[in-house]
Amino acid sequence: MTVKPSPTSPSSESSISRELSTAESVAPAYKTMEEFLKTIEKRAFVIAKISTSRHEDALDIVQETMFKMVEKYGSKPVLEWRPLFYRILNNKITDHYRRQAVRNKIFIWKSSDNDQSDDCFQSDIASSVERRSEEPDEMLMRQQRIERLAKGVQKLARRQREAFLLRSWECLSTRETAYAMGCTEGSVKTHYSRALEKLREQLAGYDYD
């Protein structure tokens, strides 16, 4: 698979370390690739699950991303790992969409199989932000809010969803998100703004404070 260089830089992979060194003031908690993958695996799975709506596909995508990360980028500076990981993850998700589109055209009668009744991705999100100090009624209310938000995110256009998850869920900077998505920082800001607008429309009337 050919990865297009980001429009933000003609040699993104070679220059991203210099860019991040000025953007990151706090060193990451991980020092080895194994530690990094442990910290990011569950959150990456949530992103893949929301994007594909299929547990098995999400697992495959995350595993392929991790394998490529170890194989190709283990020697890269630690500060490069997160945006590189999400660049690979986004490419794997895009590949999944392309394969699915081709498969649906060839096997039209199987296209309905992609409409999954598996909605447990909301629980994946909930478990990843678990607050053990909450009372049962507080946990129930938070779970309901998370389910509405997760469904809203899933309804976003793909690029809007990518921008929202990377900026809000993973807290990547605009520059890191642009690299991960393979687009300009201006495009990230546009996609992110539209995602927020769509979510506000979808979640109007619910209290998310």
Q: What are the C-alpha distances in Å from 40 to residues 5, 83, 89? A: 24, 12, 12
CA 79-154-100 angle, to 5 degrees, is: 90
Q: What percent of the chain lies above the pLDDT cut of 90?
A: 40
* pLDDT digits 0-9 by tens, 3-21: 444 444 444 444 444 444 4
* pLDDT digits 0-9 by tens, 183-209: 999 999 999 999 999 988 887 765 544
Domain total in the chain: 3
* pLDDT digits 0-9 by tens, 127-158: 544 555 556 556 566 566 667 777 888 889 98
| Domain assignment present for 89 | yes
* Shared domain check, 101 and 78: yes
* Shared domain check, 92 and 81: yes
Overall size of the chain counted in residues: 209
Residue 54: pLDDT band (50, 70, 90) is confident
* Shared domain check, 123 and 103: no
* Shared domain check, 135 and 105: no
* Shared domain check, 126 and 65: no
| Domain assignment present for 208 | no
| Domain assignment present for 17 | no
> Tokens 């809000």 sit at which residue?
168
* pLDDT digits 0-9 by tens, 98-117: 877 666 555 454 444 444 44
Residue 32 has pLDDT above 60, yes or no: yes
> What pLDDT is attached to residue 153?
87
> What pLDDT is attached to residue 115?
46
| Domain assignment present for 143 | yes
Cα–Cα distance for residue pair 194/72, rounded to 1 Å? 34
* Shared domain check, 141 and 71: no
Please tell me whether residue 53 adopts helix, strand or coil conformation.
Answer: coil
| Domain assignment present for 129 | yes
| Mean of the per-residue pLDDT values of the chain | 75
Cβ neighbourhood burial of 46 (10 Å; 0-12, 13-18, 19+): buried
| Domain assignment present for 1 | no
* Shared domain check, 146 and 79: no
The residue segments making up the domain with residue 79 are 30-117
Q: Answer for the pair 53, 154: CB distance below 8 angstroms, yes or no.
A: yes
